[in-house]
Amino acid sequence: MSVLAVAEHRRGEVRDVSYELVTAGRRLADGLGGELNLLVVGGDVDGFAEDLNRDGVDTVYTVDDGEEFNHGIHAAAIERLHADLEPTALVAPNSVDGLDYAPAVAQRLDVPLVTDVIDFEVDGGGIEVTREQYGGKVETTYQVDADQYAVTVRPAEWPQAEDRGDAAVEPIDVDVGGESGTTVNGFEEVGGGDVDITEADVLVSIGRGIEEAENLPLVEELADTLGATLSSSRPIVDNEWLPKNRQVGQSGKVVTPDVYIAIGISGAVQHVAGMKGADTIVAINTDPNAPIYDIADYGIVDDLFDVVPALIEEFGGDPPEV
């Protein structure tokens, strides 16, 4: 009745979703009454194992083969360890990499797979999982009645495990049977633009309330004054006022900053799906019934054209004329 979770790394760093997998996997393991095992494949496996040694993890298994993600090596490693451990649940990130290998592995192992899971409950001999449909407007639950199953979990739905643990670390050897079939030759930023908003500690995000592109310098000045990164909701990108790489939301990027300041953003479910994992959410909106206030830690019900200049002055900046 154990859980096997597959960690993810890129360019020499463990990705945040791996620490979220620890939290999700531990909760699932507790429901099953079993152990949580992590698998990390490729790269600096010793360093990654140390990073992933968080409270709740029983064993970290490592496969020292390759540097970056490789479908063939990952699939072979998961199948080998799955055969050894016979876990009830296989858990992977709902990411580009996770969605690459999870369907293939589930098919080979002959286990049901549910993707993009935002919640789950152990239910008797199976699991009840929750997913979103219709652009996040509806949550649906599915009952999976099986002795073994696989799920991919959506990033930013579980908090990252932070406390150090005392997990055992066990290297394993995997024979991929000759050529793995794929290799990573390098990375190319496609439409990456000037910033990566997923790495920002503080985001100042603007929505329809800015009214027109000529007013953007006001919010840009607030971001500069705070040492923050500027992001936006989808309408700003659709109007071509900011590039696509600045968009937060279901059709943009999922962000988990320390502070997220939502300015003139109503809080549609598609946008909230991309930022609700922020540690602290501050909302500025004239509508006291705006959905953004349902998740905000702090709210200012007022006109952004009055509030933002006041904030800039308070923090030592010089508000531009708009």
Residue 22 lies in a domain: yes
Most confident of the following: 65-69, 117-121, 155-159: 117-121
Same domain, 25 and 123: yes
Task: Label residues 268-282 b or e (16+ Cβ within 10 Å = b).
Answer: bbbbbbbbbbbeebb
pLDDT greater at residue 318 or residue 74: 74
How many separate domains does the chain show?
2
Print the domain residue range for 212. 197-314
pLDDT attached to residue 273: 86
Percent of the chain's residues with pLDDT above 90: 75
Q: What is the mean pLDDT of residues 148-173?
A: 93
Same domain, 23 and 128: yes
State pLDDT tens for residues 186-218: 776 555 456 789 889 999 999 999 999 999 999
pLDDT attached to residue 139: 87
Same domain, 202 and 166: no
pLDDT attached to residue 320: 72
Residue 28 lies in a domain: yes
Same domain, 126 and 51: yes
Q: What is the mean pLDDT of residues 53-59?
A: 96
Q: What is the mean pLDDT of residues 56-61?
A: 97
CA dist., res. 90 & res. 32, Å (int)? 13
Residue 112, SS3? coil
Residue 31 lies in a domain: yes
pLDDT attached to residue 290: 94
Same domain, 48 and 123: yes
State pLDDT tens for residues 9-40: 988 999 989 999 999 999 999 999 999 999 99
Last residue of a domain, one of 130, 153, 171: 171
pLDDT attached to residue 190: 52
Same domain, 220 and 147: no
- CA-only gyration radius of the chain, Å: 22
Residue 235 lies in a domain: yes
Same domain, 214 and 69: no
Residue 86 lies in a domain: yes
Residue 108 lies in a domain: yes
Cβ contact 281:275 at 8 Å:
yes
Name beta bridge partners: 133: 138
Question: Which CATH number covers residue 227?
Answer: 3.40.50.1220
Same domain, 98 and 235: no
Residue 202 lies in a domain: yes
- Which residue has tokens 């449909």? 133
pLDDT attached to residue 247: 95
Same domain, 161 and 265: no
Computed over every residue of the chain, the mean pLDDT equals 91
pLDDT attached to residue 192: 47
CA dist., res. 220 & res. 213, Å (int)? 11
Q: Give the global pTM.
A: 0.76
Percent of the chain's residues with pLDDT above 70: 95
Same domain, 202 and 79: no
Same domain, 40 and 95: yes
Q: Which of 118-122, 181-185, 200-204, 232-236 has the lowest mean pLDDT?
A: 181-185
CA dist., res. 242 & res. 230, Å (int)? 9
Q: What is the mean pLDDT of residues 128-134?
A: 88
Residue 42 lies in a domain: yes
Same domain, 131 and 279: no
State pLDDT tens for residues 240-282: 999 999 999 988 888 989 999 999 999 998 899 889 889 999 9
Question: Which CATH number covers residue 76?
Answer: 3.40.50.620
Residue 299 clears pLDDT 50, i.e. is over it: yes
